[in-house]
Structures are given as structure tokens and as C-alpha cells.
Amino acid sequence: MQVDVAAITGSGPRGRIVERDVVAAAGQAAPALPATTAQPALAAVAVGERTPIRGVRKLIAERMHASLRDTAQLTLNAAADAETMLALRAALKTKAAVAEPDTPQAALGGITLNDLVMYAVGRTLPAFPELNAVTGSTAGEGEWIERFSDVHLGFAVDTDVGLMVPVVRDVHAVSLLELSQRAAALAEAARSRTIAPDQLQGGTFTVSNLGVFGIESFTPVLNTPQVAILGVGAVVLKPVMADGEVAHRRQVGLSLTIDHRVVDGAPAARFLQALAESIADIDLLMAT
């Protein structure tokens, strides 16, 4: 419908033409659209499954938020040559396959790559007490940092109720087999919800491994009050320089997050470098 605007007398301020003038001139309101061009009805709003955030999930959420809020987190990324570690793991599985059941040799087959990385961490970390530490505060002392010579190593476990971090104690002093067996027992207790509260406390450093999912590197969030956490990525074939030539070797990704308030980048980088060397020469590490 067309309206001759020039013929309309405006009733607005100072004679301006307003909407009611146009409607009046048209003699009727704008006609409805034909049925064939009518707007479609709005689709029904999708309804998902709503789950309250509570219990372990709520505790995890609160701790992750507090960790990011209360610390200055910095992540350093590196890679370690994994050829020796992979060869050692294969040798252990071969030895276990021919061993008598229920013997220590047969138990070697249960040692994982994560166990080997944790063993390397336990042997390397005592030389870097800046990272084997926790922070805290008291009314009398204010804020403080406590460094440890013993390594009580937390490791992330995915359970059906959320992430749990059991602690393997005295990792600096146990054998590879004992470390593996302790870690396996703690992981099973976490997944079956039979783990004791004290088995989730007292850690001085944490390892989180996402390599099994093909993740090459990531940014692990500090398990406060600890000041450092190591993320372990997937083993990937990469080109490296060896004796002046390019060679392809399998490497494992390492991501170290520190609390930059109390740990500087240089000591963190030195630890990551030393850990990469320990993993690359883990056979020699086990001999010392």
C-alpha cells in the first residue's frame, strides 16, 4: 500500500509527521502478510540435561578457580627423547611375559610409561627444592614457602566422579617396581571410591599425564598449595639434529607450570632440562 507523504498533515511536534499520521492517511493498519509468506513459528527451545554442580565436581571447580585466582601461573614446554624409555618398557614387558606367575619379574609387565616418568621426576626433583615445595600463611609468620628434600608425588587420576590426585610417598627412595605397584593400587582405590583422605594429601609435586589421549602439550593447573606441576604429553616422532644431521626420534612432551610468585623461570627451566636428560638416559638413572 502506498501513501502520498506530501499530502499528510503532521500532528507531531512542530508539525512533524509521526506514525499515527501515516496510519490515518492509509485508512487502515498495514495488512497482514499472505498465508503463504507468513513468518514460521519459533522452534521449540531445546532442553538439555541439567546437573547440579556439587560433591566432588564442586570441590574440583572451587580448587581450580582458587588456584588460578591466587597464584601467578607460568607454563614452560619442552620435550625429552623417549627412545630409551620406550626400549626399556618393551624389555620389561618381554621379561614379564616369560616369567613365572606371581613373581617380581612377572609384575614388571605392569610398569607404564607414566611410572617411568614419575620415577625420573622422583630422582631429579631433590636437586631442585624450589619446585618441590608448598606455600602457605599463618597469623604469626605471614606468607611462607616450605621446601622439601623428600618427594611425595601426586598424580592425576580420572574417575567417574571427577579428577583425583593420590600421593605416592617417598618416590625419591623407592624402586621402579614399588613405585608402579603403589601408583596402581592408589589409582584403583581412587576409581573405586575406596581411597582414604590421607592418601590424597601431603603431596609436594604433581604429575598429570594426558599423553594417552594423544595430547602433545597442555597447560596443567597448579595443584595448590604446591608450586609446580608437570604435564606429560604423547610420544611423537619428531625431526632432531644428531651429529650434524637430521634424524627422526620419538619424543615425549613435557609442560611444567610453576607459581611465578615464588619460583623464577630460570630454575624451572633448569629442572625441566635436567628431567628431560633423566628421561632420555633413564637406564643410567636406574643404575645409580
What percent helix, strand, coil does the chain show, rounded to 5?
40, 25, 35
Domain boundaries, the chain: 66-287
Round to whole Å and give the CA distance between 228 and 60: 18
Kindly report the CATH number that applies to the domain delimited by 66-287: 3.30.559.10
Would you call 172 a catalytic residue per the annotation?
no
Would you call 260 a catalytic residue per the annotation?
yes
Round to whole Å and give the CA distance between 286 and 157: 25
Q: Which helix (H) or strand (E) holds 154?
A: strand 153-155
Q: What is the pTM (predicted TM-score) of this model?
A: 0.81
Residue 132 has a CB neighbour count (10 Å cut-off) of 27
Q: Which of 257, 254, 268, 251 is nearest to 83 (CA)?
A: 251
User: Which of these is catalytic: 70, 150, 158, 260?
Assistant: 260
C-alpha 91: how far from its chain's center?
Answer: 30
Q: Helix 113-124 to helix 176-191 angle, to the nearest 10 degrees? A: 120
User: Which of these is catalytic: 65, 248, 264, 283?
Assistant: 264
pLDDT digits (tens), the chain, 288 positions? 565 656 667 676 666 666 776 667 766 544 544 555 555 555 556 788 888 888 888 888 999 999 999 999 999 999 999 999 999 999 999 999 999 888 888 999 999 999 999 999 999 999 999 999 999 999 888 999 999 999 999 999 999 988 999 999 999 999 999 999 999 999 999 999 999 999 999 999 999 999 999 999 999 999 999 999 999 999 999 998 888 899 999 999 999 999 999 999 999 999 999 999 999 999 999 988
Residue pair 254/230 in contact by the 8 Å Cβ criterion: yes
